[in-house]
Amino acid sequence: ETGVTQTPRHLVMGMTNKKSLKCEQHLGHNAMYWYKQSAKKPLELMFVYSLEERVENNSVPSRFSPECPNSSHLFLHLHTLQPEDSALYLCASSQDLAGGWDEETQYFGPGTRLLVL
């Protein structure tokens, strides 16, 4: 257990559906991240939040919409996805964005395996 949980663990959705992924961290961290991991590709950073403010948006299509209501929770709202969006979506948290080992070490959740039909 890393202290970061994600739900659901598996999700199958059609291209016209709307769904949300949830991430919760129990570590008292200030920064949270969404990553996408596709087959045969490196992990791609999607969004970064620090103290509930988005600080990085890595040219992600608008069909992915993040929400950070507080420093412990992070959501990824999905709508009108494409089959190529099928991937493992990983959430992570760190104490802060900068400051060294204790602050920057990232802790990952178990991921949500998404299949878009």
Residues lying near other proteins in the complex (CB under 8 A): 2, 33, 37, 41-45, 48, 50, 55-56, 58, 88, 90, 92, 97-98, 100-101, 104-108, 110-111, 113
Report the nearest approach of other proteins to the CB of residue 43 (Å): 4
Q: Are 66 and 52 spatial neighbours (Cβ–Cβ below 8 Å)?
A: no
Judged by beta carbon, residue 80 or residue 103, the one nearer other proteins is: 103
Q: 23 pairs with which residues across the strands?
A: 6, 74
Residues 6+ apart with CB under 8 A from 92: 4, 32, 33, 35, 106, 107, 108, 109
Give the count of beta carbons closer than 10 Å to the beta carbon of residue 109. 25
Task: Please state the closest distance from residue 42 (CB atom) to other proteins, in A.
Answer: 4
Closer CB to other proteins, 25 or 50, in the complex: 50
CB 80, min distance to other proteins, A: 26
CA distances from 102 to 16, 29, 97, 107 (A): 42, 11, 10, 11
In whole angstroms, the minimum distance from the beta carbon of 16 to other proteins comes to 27
Of 2 and 65, nearer to other proteins (C-beta) is: 2
Enumerate the β-bridge partners of residue 104. none
| CB nearer other proteins, residue 13 or residue 97 | 97
